Structure 1
Amino acid sequence: MSDENRKLISNVQEQLNRLMTQLADIEQEKSSLDIEEYTEMKNDTMEQLKDLGETLDRMQCGDITLTDQLTATRIAIRAAISEAFRTPEIVAIFAKKQPALLRQKLMQADTEFHLHKISGEVHNARKAEILYALLKMGAELSREEDAFLSNYSKISSANFELAPEQKICGESLLNVNM
């Protein structure tokens, strides 16, 4: 891989990290913002994520050597846009392909639930989000985890829809020229 490609990938990943941090900050400060301000800031960040995803689609059409890194980044962007993952931290871990850290977050959520620091509803949402991220990364789930995810997704299937797949290169070019 050329130095230019490495730098390009690094820049894209830095931009994704910046947007994920921005999204986390907006969520953290939600209570101190009025609804209109919160919605505007979140929508602006989501629009920037969509733009980054479209840029990655165009880059992938022109440079096959970037496919693996761009694909992982694009999946993370699609997940963030679709809000399949509610927690920006989980999206960031997912984008960096760190299943061990996701497992650690799952154990943390279980511990917080058992210590009554979080409700059952919050625990189930976090657990489902983390298990879904692990599943999308190709990690093996235990029977219990698979059953939990299956049951939970029936309850809230709308939360588990990813944003549409990328357009094939020809479609992207056609739409740009229209």
Structure 2
Amino acid sequence: MDLREQLNLVDIGGWQAPRAGVKVGRERGTTVITVGGVERTGVERVAEAALEIAWQGAEAVYLSFDIDVIDAGFVPGTGWPEPGGLLPREALNLVRLVSEPGLAGIEVWECSPPYDWAEQTALLSARVILDSLAVQVRAGKLGRKASTLPRPAWGPTP
């Protein structure tokens, strides 16, 4: 299966969203879920659908989290602030739900320190990573292998 067919875009929306880009994504078979779709369907159902699509024929799933999916009132330090995005609790719940089966990797982008006057965006970006890792540890998908290094290391010891 072509990688482009496995992509999910959740919370595309707002007046600034380049419509041509959304159109190309849909033409390539990318699943696009708008913020209105998240609102109507609910975070749990959106996470379930995103996971079903992402894991279809895949050996691993990678999460790329764009911090500007969250409402601009909570993340001023982004290059594309958009009113009407997800609330932080909705976004963090979505991250926890999609992280539970295990991820090959995760990144947070669009956090821009020059615009982040109160460090709110950096704090929320760090929380996205922390929640993802914590859920994976709790689910036994990360951090269960004992350290084999001859020095103190994080994680369980043999």
Please report the TM-score for the alignment, with normalisation by the length of structure 2.
0.35
Q: Which has the larger strand fraction?
A: 2
Q: Which has the larger helix fraction?
A: 1
Which structure exhibits the higher relative contact order, with contacts defined as CA atoms closer than 8 Å and separated by 6 or more residues?
A: 1
